[in-house]
Amino acid sequence: MRYRRSDVVERAVTVLDQHGLADLSMRRIASELGLQPSALYHHFASKQVLLAAVADEILDRGARTPHDQLAWDAAVVAICHELRDAMLAYRDGAELVATVHAFGLGTRSPVGPLVAALGRGGFALDFAHAAATTLVHFVFGHVSDEQTHLQADSVGALGDTEIRPGAGSFDLGLSLILDGVRQQQPGQVQDVLSGRPSS
């Protein structure tokens, strides 16, 4: 059989979702396609490049409408939720996307959209960048934890007392950071109890 680059990515996504990141090897993908491992190097320069394409595909599939119409803070919440949902949709999605992001590969970084949203909030670029990466680190870390616990549960080892991370603690952490960001909003004093401007 003769495949296109996108066919390989598609199959890699399936292997990832069904067998996890540890089993996502070049040899495994090749054998599932009925190819020799070396054939993959016609489509991708290295495994890292293939993984970056897989991460981009996962984020693409979770992409929704643009966030330009929303208020800056609603846009930030929407982007973070979209990112979380996209990564949760595939086994080890968060670990894969975070790894690709850490290596500076992949073209779908959520930092750009977040900086844009924060820019509409009137924040300086330096501050917007620091806030955006803080948010991204939180989302990656939290969703990785969620998926690790999902995995542990599905294997059967459920500790009763343990605090499980989920949508609740995600929103809590997210609003924590957002509250911190709002406090730096230039030229404004905040109403602490509602989180909305009071002047």
25/185 with CB nearer DNA: 25
Q: What share of the chain is helix, strand, coil (3-state, %, to 5)?
A: 65, 0, 30
Of the candidates 132, 136, 117, 127, the one whose C-alpha atom is nearest the C-alpha of residue 66 is 117
What are all long-range contacts of 166-175, with beta carbons under 8 Å and residues at least 24 apart? Answer: 169/142, 170/84, 170/142, 170/143, 170/146, 173/138, 173/142, 174/77, 174/80, 174/135, 174/138, 174/139
28/164 with CB nearer DNA: 28
Residue 164 touches which of a second copy, DNA, none (CB < 5 to 8 A by kind)?
none
**Selected range binding DNA among 25-33, 71-79, 97-105, 171-179, rule: CB under 7 A:** 25-33
Tell which one of 10, 17, 32, 43 touches DNA (CB under 7 A).
Answer: 43
47/164 with CB nearer DNA: 47
Closest separation between CB of residue 96 and DNA, Å?
13
Residues that bind DNA (CB under 7 A): 1-5, 23, 25-28, 34-39, 41-43, 46-48
